[in-house]
Amino acid sequence: MDAKAKILEETRIMLADLSSVDDHTRAWFMKRRAKSARTPDRRHAPRLGLLLDFLFCATLAPLITLAEGVEDSFRWRWESNNSYSARSCYEGMFGARVDMAGALQIWKSHAPPNCRVFMWLAARNRCWTADRLSRRGLPHPASCPFCDQEDETLDHLLMGCVLAREVWAVFLRLWGKLHWMPQPDSTLVHWLQDKKGGPGGNMDLWTAMVLVCWILWRHRNDVVFEGMAPSRAVVIRKISEEAELWRAARLFRGTLVPVEKWRCRE
């Protein structure tokens, strides 16, 4: 029997008598559905999906006891009064969510989307630094392009490198957060996750932190790919210039030192 004939026959069987759907038939449909999902020919896939849904309902049907003379009613299990609410629906959708370290600081910042995506990849160590390139046997810098002293890792580049720490020192002092100074062995995600600026002061700080990391990464790429000399002064100037553009785009809300003053700290 070819596949089409079997589907039609099984459909007739199910419509005629739900009890005839046995485990063997169910397994056949599951196998067929998996196969159709892998192959370009998906003509049967929607129908098979429908049949599988039907089989699922057929499995549940014997477990339901109907009471004669009692009207059906809808119940919403996520509320104690069994009534639907958008709030409980939202909580139900995200109930099993796992908060990732640093996610709040990155995604609640007002940095442009490409910078936030970069920061997220950096926090997950998904950028193409030397350690990652070497693991895949690809050409990579022999050592940190900034200091030439340590292996290049993302945490070293953005946190522990002497150039990065000098840049952080300038801006953290400016923002009154010098006690946040990253250490040589700091990791980005752990450093980031407890950084809060107090009531009303978070957004600008988080935006500014993304900006510093973004410019450090851009400078790293200029050094590696354009042959530019690593320079603390260049990084600070670029951060200041970019900060003014971000302020003009209203990405800063004015809770930090005005960005016009960032330039004089070079």
Give the binding site for Zn ion (CB under 5 A).
144, 146-147, 161
CB of 44 to Zn ion, least distance (A): 58
* Cβ nearer to Zn ion, comparing 161 with 189: 161
Phi-psi region of 41 (alpha: psi -120 to 50; beta: other; left: phi over 0): beta
* Cβ nearer to Zn ion, comparing 49 with 230: 230
* Cβ nearer to Zn ion, comparing 146 with 171: 146
CB of 156 to Zn ion, least distance (A): 6
* Cβ nearer to Zn ion, comparing 106 with 130: 130
* Pair of tokens at residue 213: 């990391």
Instruction: For CA atoms 76, 77, 83, 87, give the dihedral sign.
Output: negative
CB burial of 11-34 (b: ≥16 within 10 Å; e: otherwise) equals eeebeeeeeebeeebbeebeebbe
CB of 145 to Zn ion, least distance (A): 8
CB of 106 to Zn ion, least distance (A): 23
Residue 172, judged by CB atoms within 10 A of its CB (0-12, 13-18, 19+), counts as buried
Phi, psi for 17 (deg, rounded to 5): -155, 105
| Contact (Cβ atoms closer than 8 angstroms) between residue 54 and residue 26 | no
CB of 140 to Zn ion, least distance (A): 14
